[in-house]
Amino acid sequence: MARREFSEFETTDTIGAGNSAEALMAMGLQYCCGRNREYDLVQAHKWFNIAALRGSADARRLRHEISTEMSRQDIAAAQRMAREWLTRH
């Protein structure tokens, strides 16, 4: 059986595309905690932001919590990435 390797970009786009707020929040948690992904608060903020826009109060709370540990530039980058993702999906 052939095994295909996925880039991080492919994986996150495939997992996140069209999923529920809970699934998108789970993506944020993976980045926030470094589970199955590299620890990355910018990516975590991006996924929490998208999940919050889809109605997750927990994602909104977590986004706020991690933003206290981020620079303004990092938050701006995360917001930009969320907008780009939303535009594509």
Q: Is the pLDDT of residue 10 over 80?
A: no
Q: Is the pLDDT of residue 5 over 90?
A: no
């529920």: which residue's tokens? 20
Question: Where does the pLDDT of residue 19 fall: very low under 50, low under 70, confident under 90, or very high at 90 and above?
Answer: confident
Q: List the domain boundaries for the chain.
A: 21-88
What is the length of the chain?
Answer: 89
- How far apart, in Å, do the first and last CA atoms of the chain sit? 31
At 59 the pLDDT is: 97
Which letter does DSSP use for residue 36 in this model? S
At 16 the pLDDT is: 46
Report pLDDT digits (tens) over 27-81: 999 999 998 899 999 999 999 999 999 999 999 999 999 999 999 999 999 999 9
